[in-house]
Chain A
Amino acid sequence: MDPTEKLAPIRKGLLEFVILKIVAGDKVYVADMLKLLGPTEFATQEGTLYPLLSKLRREELVDYEWQESDAGPPRKYYKLTAKGRTQLSTLNDYWKNLNKTLADLGN
């Protein structure tokens, strides 16, 4: 077994944080998020991403707006809300602390 698979649950748990980071930039479309994450450790699929985004919207951390597209029906573009921004900075700080703790352990 690949030893990094032991951290798979952590990668899964981090996905929400990762998504918040992505939508913190410009407004994004889901297909573009998937393309962005594809080559990374956080590669994921529509089947996971759509339910997660709907949950984040229900928690008022992200919101979306409709934009016309040249090919087909209008698309949902996701962006961070003010509440999402506060949560993202909390998570960012927490993540930095975690990294620091990990780096300091055993030294």
Chain B
Amino acid sequence: MQKVINISLNGIAYQLEEPGYNLLSAYLERAESRLKDSPDRAEVTADLEQAIGEKCRAVLGPHKTVVSTAEVEKIIEEMGPVESADEKAAGASADSAAGGGSSQTFTPPPPRKRLYQIREGAMWSGVCNGIAAYLNVDVTWIRLAFVLLTIFSSGFWFIVYIVLMFVVPVATTPEDRAAAFGMPFNTEELISRAKKNFEEFGHTYRWRREWRRQQRHWNRQFKHMNEQIRMATAQAGPIAGNTARFFSGVLAPVAALIGAVIFVTWILAMFSLVTQHSIFGWYLPHGMPWWVGIIALVLIYSAISAPLRMMRHAGQQHANSHPAWGALHGLMWIGFTVLLFWAAYTFFPGVRELIDSLMWAANLTVSTISETIV
């Protein structure tokens, strides 16, 4: 099932699948920024929209009312990159063709991709989700990095998360989400935006507003959670109520606990494999390089955690996918993970040695980096 977005191209409405809409709006935004200095910008944009509309109409029929993502991709390819036909650009391209220096004016404008918090599918506030969309990697890796950094920085990294929660805007409209997933990113824009947001954060007491908004978000989540519990108790008789209660009441903590145990074991096994080339004293079969072990561990972890993930999705569907479930599960998962790491560190000397040596390596890396920079 795909979400469909209604758009108007030069006054005519079309329906596009959401990923296709994201592609098309990125294409038109790039076209507009290419034509920024052209006096014909409005006219060319209208012409392009009409041409795209005509191509959309060509793929639609009485029994097909939505333009698919693949079709949008094809249309964009047919349209080709928009090139300004102006004298300046033509001159610059002639220069660069002749090996001249003024290619500066002809570099394509930076693609527009922005960092947002994405609430859909978020565990807590959507910071990790937004970063994952921005860097185009799976959100699990970002969450993992955040948890590890929090543990290794004795909690300091958690403050970074809180700061990001206030500084990074929330993607509320489809346009925001398009920009969040948009085109390849560049670091320059990220830094300048972060600076700008930080300045505003500094002077305009924006943080108060953000804090209130965050509180409202949490209140909503808790309200949902309460409603869920009330509903489950109200329908105590019917099986549906029992199942929902069973899923949210029993499976959530169990899934979180099992997930955390597997996760912590996996991380420790990874560490021990990297540092000592053995998994808790068990050596790999002779002649097997240690990186093969790493790959095997990753595969085993994803195989073991797959049923858990499925269970979580099932639970979310049962609870009518309201946000409380994900938030509850996420909080419990983080809690169990931290607790287990602490327990392993306290009760197993081997684990302590491992983490201490890793901390030492991390400190060394950080000090080397800071020395290099200074």
Contacts and interface: CB of A to CB of B under 8 A. Distances in A.
A97 interface: no
B267 to A, nearest CB: 49
B97 interface: yes
Contact of B48 (A12, A47, A52, A76): A47
Given A58-B39, A73-B11, A47 B83 contact: yes
Contacts, number: 74
B86 interface: yes
Contacts of A58: 39-40
Given A54-B40, A58-B39, A47 B79 contact: yes
Interface in A89-105: none
B57 A50 contact: no
A52 B81 contact: no
A71 B140 CA distance: 48
Contacts of B93: 9, 12
A46 B10 contact: no
B54 interface: yes
B171 interface: no
Nearest to A51: B85
A45 B80 contact: yes
A51 B80 contact: no
Contact of B85 (A30, A52, A75): A52
Interface string A40-58: 0000111110111111011
B44 A51 contact: yes
A30 B44 CA distance: 12
B80 A46 contact: yes
Contacts of B51: 30-31, 46, 50
A73 B50 contact: yes
Nearest to A54: B40
Given A9-B97, A73-B10, A48 B47 contact: no
Contact of A50 (B10, B47, B54, B78): B47
Interface string B80-101: 1111111000000110010000
B43 interface: yes
B31 to A, nearest CB: 7
Given A9-B97, A30-B51, A45-B79, A55 B85 contact: yes
14 contacts: A13-B94, A30-B47, A45-B79, A46-B48, A46-B51, A47-B80, A48-B83, A48-B85, A50-B47, A50-B51, A51-B83, A53-B47, A54-B47, A54-B85
Interface of B: 10-12, 31, 35, 38-40, 43-44, 47-48, 50-51, 53-54, 57, 78-86, 93-94, 97
Interface of A: 9, 12-13, 30-31, 44-48, 50-55, 57-58, 71-73, 75-76
Given A54-B43, A55-B40, 10 more contacts: A9-B94, A31-B54, A44-B80, A46-B80, A47-B48, A51-B35, A51-B85, A57-B40, A58-B39, A73-B12
